[in-house]
């Protein structure tokens, strides 16, 4: 239990002005972007220094309460949702870009920096930070590292883990460590940095992050291809890759998603087709020209009804922005959208799409699917109403079956959103029980009192 004595100890660590305990604050820090989960925290703190974070964690170990780190609360697996008797550590105000180093192609940032703001700053000087999650205009780099977020450019450029070079971390016991650095090669000791990437706030709170940057691609070409069947779109993806072309973006949208997105963005997408692919190739102008040509041919060979090339940068941006809105736009047709994040080897995309279709029919639930087809990462989204308990129960059964099918195809239950609260009961499907025990051993070694984001990813027993 968090007593008034603990609250006053917190106040003396962070200052009264950085401690929120009003009921209005508690209610509004009770959720993140994850549907159906929420819980009231006991307090919210905004530490100003790493020492304060360390003090808060030491207090938590002494008094046995939980600490949940939070950025801007856009996560989709419940990573920043409060747990029982917890204090939220709000890191959103740590939003300084400390340094951009054009000689070493690196950037030191604080964890609360908004992802798209970093894009803007580095692109201004011709550099590029590729990870671009759908929520990039509001999500934070700290959250991206904690969840190992992906995005639309994952196929060619990889995900957040490929761009983290160093971290400064406050450990669950309050110790502060640094790992990694600007040296491109570094094999001194265990690769601790990678342990924290994707740890979903359970192993440490980041206070500084060193990111790798790359030169900005000179040019790009964005295309959209329409198909009469989902499997034609699925086969197109495999066919492009087998031609040895790696587009930076290959996004898939099904009929339901296209309708909702068009309803929001009004960019003239046809609403009577079954699926579309949004494709982008980037790099040297002559290569881009040649690859775009080949991509168009691939689409046509696989029965694309129409292939359009975006005429301007603005048009391309509109298409990509519309795609990013897909998840939220789906809430136009039904109030509650439960989004999943399965990933299969990309050669199995067409099969997985068929399975999703069959499962949605079997359980009589409406599922709209979109996703990063090039990565094999699909977001089957169940459109439902949280007030209808019976339908929610059917949706959960459908998801369980979708997870099982994805794993059978050699895939995983989550590609980029994390396990958190929402998917922990399915984790064993992918990892097996022994691997979960190994994770528990690591967690126990770093956080013996289980104070930092407990009950996320897996339970301790």
Closest separation in Å from C-beta 36 to other proteins: 5
Q: Which is nearer to other proteins, 113 or 307 (CB)?
A: 113
Give Dmax (Cα) for the chain: 70
CB 301 within 8 A of CB 239: yes
Please report whether residue 301 would count as binding other proteins according to CB under 8 A.
no
Q: Which is nearer to other proteins, 28 or 441 (CB)?
A: 28
For residues 103 to 132, the per-residue mask of contacts with other proteins, x marking binding by CB under 8 A and - elsewhere, is -----------x------------------
Could you give the dihedral angle defined by the CA atoms of residues 402, 407, 410 and 411, in that order, rounded to the nearest 10 degrees? 70
Number of residues that bind other proteins (CB under 8 A): 50
Number of Cβ within 10 Å of residue 430's Cβ equals 17
Alpha-carbon distance 156 to 9, whole Å?
49
Please report whether residue 72 would count as binding other proteins according to CB under 8 A.
yes
Q: Rounded to 5 degrees, what angle do the CA atoms 82, 85, 87 make?
A: 60
Task: Compute CA 72 distance to the chain's CA centroid, rounded to the nearest angstrom.
Answer: 13
CB 343 within 8 A of CB 412: yes
Alpha-carbon distance 215 to 102, whole Å?
9
398: Cβ–Cβ under 8 A, 6 or more apart, which residues? 359, 360, 362, 363, 365, 367, 382
Q: How far is CA 120 from CA 97, 125, 216, in A?
A: 11, 9, 12
Beta bridge partners of 107: 100, 211
Could you give the dihedral angle defined by the CA atoms of residues 334, 340, 345 and 346, in that order, rounded to the nearest 10 degrees? 30
Among positions 122, 223, 329, 344, the unique one binding other proteins when judged by CB under 8 A:
329
Residue ranges in 6-35 that form contacts with other proteins under rule CB under 8 A: 20, 22-25, 27-33, 35
Residue ranges in 376-395 that form contacts with other proteins under rule CB under 8 A: 385-387, 389, 392
Alpha-carbon distance 447 to 454, whole Å?
9
Q: Which is nearer to other proteins, 270 or 335 (CB)?
A: 335
Q: Which is nearer to other proteins, 84 or 437 (CB)?
A: 84
Residue ranges in 127-186 that form contacts with other proteins under rule CB under 8 A: 135, 137-139
Please report whether residue 317 would count as binding other proteins according to CB under 8 A.
no
Closest separation in Å from C-beta 405 to other proteins: 23
For every residue of 243-254, which 3-state class applies, written as one string?
A: CCCCCCEEEEEE
Sheet order of strands, 205-212 included: 97-101, 106-109, 205-212, 164-170, 176-180
Helix 230-242 to helix 285-301 angle (10° resolution) is: 140
Closest separation in Å from C-beta 55 to other proteins: 22
- CB under 8 A: which stretch of 146-154, 308-316, 324-332, 412-420 binds other proteins? 324-332
- CB under 8 A: which stretch of 169-177, 232-240, 302-310, 335-343 binds other proteins? 335-343
Closest separation in Å from C-beta 326 to other proteins: 8
Classify residue 158 as left (phi > 0), alpha (psi -120 to 50) or beta.
Answer: left
Among positions 9, 11, 21, 36, the unique one binding other proteins when judged by CB under 8 A:
36
Q: Which is nearer to other proteins, 56 or 329 (CB)?
A: 329
Q: Which is nearer to other proteins, 239 or 388 (CB)?
A: 388
Please report whether residue 263 would count as binding other proteins according to CB under 8 A.
yes
Please report whether residue 264 would count as binding other proteins according to CB under 8 A.
yes
Q: Which is nearer to other proteins, 425 or 444 (CB)?
A: 425
Please report whether residue 331 would count as binding other proteins according to CB under 8 A.
yes
Please report whether residue 37 would count as binding other proteins according to CB under 8 A.
yes
Closest separation in Å from C-beta 379 to other proteins: 13
Look up residue 279 and give its two tokens.
């494709």
Please report whether residue 94 would count as binding other proteins according to CB under 8 A.
no
Closest separation in Å from C-beta 136 to other proteins: 10
Q: Which is nearer to other proteins, 37 or 318 (CB)?
A: 37
Q: Which is nearer to other proteins, 263 or 290 (CB)?
A: 263
- Sign of the CA dihedral with 33 first, then 417, 113, and 67 last: positive
Residues in the site for other proteins, rule: CB under 8 A? 20, 22-25, 27-33, 35-40, 72-74, 83-84, 92-93, 114, 135, 137-139, 261, 263-264, 325-332, 335-337, 385-387, 389, 392, 421
């Amino acid at each position: 239990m968090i007593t008034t004595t603990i609250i006053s100890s917190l106040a003396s660590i962070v200052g009264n002005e950085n401690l929120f305990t009003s009921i209005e604050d508690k209610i509004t820090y009770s959720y993140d972007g994850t549907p159906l989960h929420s819980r009231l925290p006991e307090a919210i703190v905004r530490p100003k220094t790493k020492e304060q974070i360390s003090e808060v964690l030491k207090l938590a170990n002494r008094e046995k309460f939980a600490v949940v780190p939070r950025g801007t609360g856009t996560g989709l697996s419940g990573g920043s949702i409060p747990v029982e008797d917890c204090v939220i550590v709000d890191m959103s105000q740590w939003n300084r870009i400390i340094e951009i180093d054009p000689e070493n192609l690196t950037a030191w940032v604080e964890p609360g920096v908004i992802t798209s703001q970093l894009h803007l700053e580095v692109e201004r000087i011709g550099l590029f930070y590729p990870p671009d999650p759908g929520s990039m205009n509001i999500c934070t780099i700290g959250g991206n590292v904690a969840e190992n977020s992906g995005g639309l450019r994952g196929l060619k450029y990889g995900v957040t883990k490929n761009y983290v070079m160093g971290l400064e971390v406050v450990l669950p016991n309050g110790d502060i460590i640094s790992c990694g650095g600007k040296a491109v090669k570094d094999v001194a000791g265990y690769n601790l940095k990678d342990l924290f990437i994707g740890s979903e706030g359970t192993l440490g709170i980041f206070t500084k992050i060193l990111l790798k940057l790359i030169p900005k691609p000179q040019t790009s070409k964005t295309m959209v291809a329409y198909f009469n069947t989902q499997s034609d779109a699925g086969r197109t993806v495999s066919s492009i890759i087998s031609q040895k072309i790696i587009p930076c973006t290959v996004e898939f949208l099904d009929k339901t998603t296209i309708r909702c997105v068009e309803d929001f963005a009004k960019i003239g997408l046809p609403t009577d087709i079954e699926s579309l692919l949004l494709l982008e190739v980037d790099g040297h102008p002559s290569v881009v020209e040649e690859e775009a040509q080949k991509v168009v041919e691939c689409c046509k060979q696989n029965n694309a009804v129409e292939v359009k090339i975006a005429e301007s940068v603005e048009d391309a941006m509109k298409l990509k922005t519309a795609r990013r809105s897909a998840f939220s736009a789906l809430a136009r047709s039904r109030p509650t959208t439960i989004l999943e994040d399965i990933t299969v080897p990309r050669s199995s995309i067409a099969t997985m799409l068929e399975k999703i279709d069959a499962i949605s029919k079997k359980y009589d639930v409406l599922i709209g699917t979109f996703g990063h087809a090039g990565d094999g990462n699909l977001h089957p989204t169940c459109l439902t109403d949280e007030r209808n308990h019976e339908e929610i129960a059917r949706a959960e059964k459908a998801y369980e079956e979708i997870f099982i099918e994805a794993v059978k195809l050699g895939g995983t239950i989550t590609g980029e959103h994390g396990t958190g609260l929402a998917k922990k009961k399915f984790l064993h499907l992918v990892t097996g029980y022994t691997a979960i025990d190994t994770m528990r051993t690591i967690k126990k070694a770093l956080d013996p009192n289980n104070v930092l984001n407990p009950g996320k990813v897996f339970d301790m027993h």
